[in-house]
Amino acid sequence: MEPLLSAIVGDLVSRALSMVTQRYLQSKGAEEEKLQRLRAVLLRIDATVEEAEGRHITNQAMLQQLQMLRRGMYRGYYTLDTFRYREHRDEADGKASTRRSLALSRFSPSSSRRTSSSVCDAQRMDLVLDAGSCNNLDKMLSSLERMIGDMQEFVMFLGSYPRISQQPYDAYLFHDQVMFGRQMEKETILSFLLCREAARNGSLGVLPIIGPARVGKSTLVEHVCLDERVRRRFSSIVFFSGNDLNGGNLATLKGDMDEETWRGLYTSAASHLTPGSKIILTSRSEKIASLGTAQSLVLKFLSQEAYWYFFKTAAFGSTDPEC
């Protein structure tokens, strides 16, 4: 009786394993085709973003659309690399599992049956995980393909903006010519600094920049002030940091200011500075938003996908190290 039961159990396990393996291979084939489509879409978006990065875009709507393209590209490459990593991991785990199965099967049939059952369970779990992963892949692919379909007008208008003299995108990440992931914010500050509206009415323009510690507020301002257009526009550029706030009057700037204190500082600055001068305030506190004459700029940390994109480009010199 026991040999018959053992044979039946072995046959059932074998059939179940065969069915799961077949479904697994079918899903793998469909997944590979989708990954190829994703890579092709990302190459098109990458080329468009690179072209846009080489243009001096001033229109805020265009900059927002570029930001959407860039974020979609970051997420797409992150998804693509996640699947690539999983393929390499599964291949390594599969070889190790095969070696363990062969070693155990040499000892006893019962060990072999337990191993076959555990392999079957593991592959069923992989199939469940693949279903969720493929669903995420489908959503990502559909989203990026829609994005590609909607960017014809963006590409058409892109040609109307002048080119910026710079190296290709992959190259200038290694230099100080650009601040990664902050083009939209940079153009916002440039537009504020180069706008002459305040010069005509004699007031001082004030731009508040708000963000958490070490998000890059001061670094961004310093980077913008290195732009030749800014240096030609202003005869002098002065930075005050926390280390500079040691004097009696300047110490007021260390904490939150009330409206009366700010009004006094603003009036004093306006009486000593030439018309058209600009002030940029950087702080972690959202309270400085009320001190601005322009809409405040809020800086946030870049996404995990953006950091991964930057790391790949800096480490491998390409967004696709397999190319």
Q: Say what the pLDDT of residue 149 is.
A: 86
Q: Say what the pLDDT of residue 82 is.
A: 87
- In three state form, how does the secondary structure of the chain look? CHHHHHHHHHHHHHHHHHHHHHHHHHHHHHHHHHHHHHHHHHHHHHHHHHHHHCECCCCHHHHHHHHHHHHHHHHHHHHHHHHHHHHHHHHHHHHHHHHHHHHHHCCCHHHHHHHHHHHHHHHHHHHHHHHHHHHHHHHHHHHHHHHHHCCHHHHHHHCCCCECCCCCHHHHCCCCCCCCCCHHHHHHHHHHHHCCHHHHHCCCEEEEEECCCCCCHHHHHHHHHCCHHHHHHCCCCCCCCHHHCCCCCHHHHHCCCCHHHHHHHHHHHHHHCCCCCEEEEEECCHHHHHHCCCCCEECCCCCHHHHHHHHHHHHHCCCCCCC
CB atoms within 10 A of CB 241: 8
Instruction: Give the Cα separation of 13 and 227 in Å (integer).
Output: 69
pTM summary value: 0.67
Q: Say what the pLDDT of residue 54 is.
A: 83
Q: Say what the pLDDT of residue 16 is.
A: 60
Residue 76 Cα to chain centre, angstroms = 10
User: Per-block average pLDDT, block size 10, for the chain (323 residues)?
Assistant: 62 59 56 88 91 86 90 92 78 57 50 49 47 76 89 88 64 55 88 74 83 92 90 88 55 60 80 86 90 92 90 74 54
Give the pair of three-digit tokens for residue 173: 């990440």
Phi-psi region of 203 (alpha: psi -120 to 50; beta: other; left: phi over 0): beta
Instruction: Give the Cα separation of 191 and 60 in Å (integer).
Output: 10
